[in-house]
Structure 1
């Protein structure tokens, strides 16, 4: 008898089906047993045995998932939590635990799950605590503040609750409100070193550096076995212009946490302050090797090399006035492709609504032909998840967000920016210092064939979650089908894995080293420029090549270009319009 037949049989003989469900539960088929008991109760609402066994089975299903979760196997736990919710949609524990599992890959679903958990159980301190941690980690500080206030109203003694609220207020640029919560944490736990560090950090940002230095030293004395007090002391010493002393603190950090890329990055800052350019470059390169996905590692390494390699003309240091928007995380929140999307959104949003914009030091100051205003007085942080910024840019709503420090990835569907493609192209035009080398490379490439086909194969720090890797076989299949029909094609290969050139040997691929052009500190930019000029572009699942095709498609005149991207479901390359598409970071894993 199949499962559906058993469910229908519950209407005729609920007692027999209840007994079968119990056998199935004992055999480990918990979800089927739950389905059968639910059918029994639908047919006979007063059936005492089914009513008693059903909640126990759901709880067993939940505990089976939690056991796997606690053992460090959240992917195995997820199907159990989802099975619980199929049978008990309002199960607050399953909603909370599933939110913890999905948060690293899907913040939107995690947020919805947390809210559903609170709707099912309004006083749920564990879920409130984890939701606040999630919101703080993703930069949604004001939302985290609201959740933490709710948590502390339920349990004023919640461990670390006061400190967490202070940190969220700090992140929202509300440091003055944060300090009393740090002090309250110290009343509860006098040796709470993180609270001491947070108070010191507030003094640091307020410019009270000697007070901050004393507090950092106090934290070091309190917990000399922890890396973070030494790390923050080192940065305070660096800010005070005492890099030699900072190097000593960083040495202790490295002994406590060997191989931490942040220590290598900080050492690079110290050596740069000491004008040891070679040592600083080596330290930044080590940080990149230890954590290639870090936007800050990428940015500081590239900036130092760019400054050393070229004779940059002096530009006045511009300051904005009036209503403005800024983005102080630019260059630190993802690598080059992400920075392009963030910078473009900031510029276009400011232009659309008649505001000034401000950005910190980032590689675009050197790669592109412009002079951006620098950040001035701090502004309140606004995370993209807490605002309708794309709708505001497209004027689908009347709301304008003025005087905010914008935070997020801004990987919005590009149609919202399409009418600004001219400004997009102009503000990302190559710097005249670099233009002759870029032109020389393109002339050599065009001299090898009339149709430039550019293929981007991203490997490196890719390979997990939404950052899936499209196999080279998809690109080979497209070339096999279309190469002969192109007019004197030449293949340019952009990749961070040189060995992949062998897979395309029959097309004699051209790589940057073949073009006789050097761009120290911006080696990646030559590939980006070629991708933005090629006639046919086959991108990877990466914002690097996607944003290059946005520039390519923004060009006026010339013959129509062809753009193709990998499609995970169809397992091949498909055409797309760069100005009417989702950037790759929006892709979800199957």
Structure 2
């Protein structure tokens, strides 16, 4: 639908403001030729239009021409030194151009102009991390996430630091095997940068299944799942940039290749999909996907105690995932669905114990009659990675009811114990049973 909306230049005259919005939309949707053409027309009519000049820089970055992007964006900051967004985007271009010190200076200037600007704060923290100043980077990245909890470029480096800080003495870091040189290579530089943990896991599974189906090697960047799961994928060249050009078309083609067959699959390139365009959890692949996505043994001291503590409270572990704060359209599942189901089903389970995983602690009181446990009851919290403890409990439950989003759905796909999975029925008519594998 988005591709149809922005598959051609607008007809008829546009105001400068509308033209700038069109240019930005073209940039975001990977229609970079259209973006550049609209920007050039704007600047012909209004040479001092700073927003069009900024979008030109963003388009150059998305074309993977970081040197040109940095030059364009630096010119914007010189013309508008108080434009915090321009300093931030200059920092991003410099970062991916390998100029880390200059990137840090640009990020710092953006933060000086706007103290609560999470995006350059994350960039500044990541530069410090990569330069080895990890103790300095840690609180900066944590604060960026406090300001913008769903910002992946902060969440990834922060989570990686948390893994490193909690690695048991003597435990090896996550492994990387050498890439096979007799196969075509696929990479995904954006893995983890456009979505949180579960969305990234689904994107990883889709890409790896695609690569294996067509006889290719799949190399990955440094992402959260590589540290958490028993994965040994080859490391991609960190200088490889995400390929945004015409990404909506690439996304559609990927889905066609995944579900059908093609003699011309993508090969020897980077893919940007903007999230998996397919549900990769196919029944025929269940065993190998669950094998890939097994937590590393070194994390057992963080993952096993919460499950063991819940098992001591009862024999049937019933887990609910309730999302209430950050879904894009605010279409949250009503609590009444879970309460109604519990009222009907609770007495039929053998010594049940209820666990509620939620991003809104206020909802827990609604389940008081069932004496629910939450992550606050875990005997040990995993600093910065407590969402993985919740995820693990969901993946070990005997009964799992999911809600909006992919977090609990992905945990359900990895759950080998549950005898019942529940999800909201259409139009929230109640909870219905389902299989997480299609």
TM-score, with length taken from structure 1: 0.63
Post-superposition shift, 1:446?
2.1
Instruction: Map Cα deviations across residues 345-375 of structure 1 (whole Å, 9 max, x no partner).
Output: 0111111111111211111111101122222
Post-superposition shift, 1:383?
2.7
- Judged with a 3 Å threshold, the aligned counterparts in structure 2 of structure 1 residues 476 and 137 are, in CA distance, closer, same or farther, namely same
More moved, 336-345 vs 374-383:
374-383
- Judged with a 3 Å threshold, the aligned counterparts in structure 2 of structure 1 residues 452 and 384 are, in CA distance, closer, same or farther, namely farther
Mapped partners of 1:214, 1:546: distance in 2: 44
Q: Which residue of 1 aligns with 2:359?
A: 496
- Judged with a 3 Å threshold, the aligned counterparts in structure 2 of structure 1 residues 402 and 125 are, in CA distance, closer, same or farther, namely farther
Mapped partners of 1:450, 1:518: distance in 2: 23
Q: Which residue of 1 aligns with 2:229?
A: 368
Q: Is the 8 A contact 2:27 2:35 kept in 1?
A: no
- Judged with a 3 Å threshold, the aligned counterparts in structure 2 of structure 1 residues 222 and 531 are, in CA distance, closer, same or farther, namely same
Mapped partners of 1:576, 1:471: distance in 2: 19
Q: Which residue of 2 aligns with 1:309?
A: 166
Mapped partners of 1:313, 1:288: distance in 2: 28
Does 1:469 pair with 2:328?
Answer: no
> Rg bigger for which structure?
1
Mapped partners of 2:100, 2:40: distance in 1: 35
Post-superposition shift, 1:339?
0.6
Post-superposition shift, 1:249?
4.0
> How does 1:487-566 map onto structure 2 within 5 Å?
487-552=350-415, 555=416, 561-566=419-424
Q: Is the 8 A contact 1:303 1:363 kept in 2?
A: yes
Q: Which structure carries more relative contact order (alpha carbon 8 Å, separation 6+)?
A: 2
Mapped partners of 1:412, 1:215: distance in 2: 37
More moved, 246-255 vs 521-530:
246-255
Q: Is the 8 A contact 1:234 1:249 kept in 2?
A: yes
- Judged with a 3 Å threshold, the aligned counterparts in structure 2 of structure 1 residues 458 and 523 are, in CA distance, closer, same or farther, namely same
TM-score, with length taken from structure 2: 0.82
Q: Is the 8 A contact 1:384 1:410 kept in 2?
A: no
Q: Is the 8 A contact 2:318 2:353 kept in 1?
A: yes
- Judged with a 3 Å threshold, the aligned counterparts in structure 2 of structure 1 residues 205 and 578 are, in CA distance, closer, same or farther, namely closer
- Judged with a 3 Å threshold, the aligned counterparts in structure 2 of structure 1 residues 354 and 214 are, in CA distance, closer, same or farther, namely closer
- Judged with a 3 Å threshold, the aligned counterparts in structure 2 of structure 1 residues 379 and 302 are, in CA distance, closer, same or farther, namely closer
Mapped partners of 2:21, 2:105: distance in 1: 36
Does 1:405 pair with 2:270?
Answer: yes
Post-superposition shift, 1:393?
1.9
Instruction: Map Cα deviations across residues 263-291 of structure 1 (whole Å, 9 max, x no partner).
Output: 22123224435655444222212221222
Q: Is the 8 A contact 1:303 1:521 kept in 2?
A: no
Q: Which residue of 2 aligns with 1:346?
A: 207
Mapped partners of 1:232, 1:225: distance in 2: 13
Mapped partners of 1:538, 1:368: distance in 2: 24
Q: Is the 8 A contact 2:337 2:428 kept in 1?
A: no
1:537 alignment partner, SS class: strand
Q: Which runs of 5 or more structure 1 residues have no equivalent in the other structure?
A: 1-107, 153-157, 164-184, 581-590
Mapped partners of 2:261, 2:185: distance in 1: 21
Q: Is the 8 A contact 1:197 1:229 kept in 2?
A: no
2:427 alignment partner, SS class: coil
What RMSD over aligned residues (CA atoms) do the two structures have, in Å? Answer: 3.7
Alignment length, in residue pairs? Answer: 424
Does 1:434 pair with 2:299?
Answer: yes
- Judged with a 3 Å threshold, the aligned counterparts in structure 2 of structure 1 residues 567 and 298 are, in CA distance, closer, same or farther, namely farther
Q: Is the 8 A contact 1:566 1:573 kept in 2?
A: yes
- The structure whose residues are more often helix, as a share, is 1
Does 1:194 pair with 2:58?
Answer: no
- Judged with a 3 Å threshold, the aligned counterparts in structure 2 of structure 1 residues 320 and 222 are, in CA distance, closer, same or farther, namely farther
Q: Which residue of 1 aligns with 2:247?
A: 383
Post-superposition shift, 1:234?
4.5
Post-superposition shift, 1:391?
3.2
Does 1:265 pair with 2:122?
Answer: yes
Q: Is the 8 A contact 2:206 2:280 kept in 1?
A: no
- Judged with a 3 Å threshold, the aligned counterparts in structure 2 of structure 1 residues 374 and 274 are, in CA distance, closer, same or farther, namely closer
Instruction: Map Cα deviations across residues 408-427 of structure 1 (whole Å, 9 max, x no partner).
Output: 21152457x33211221111
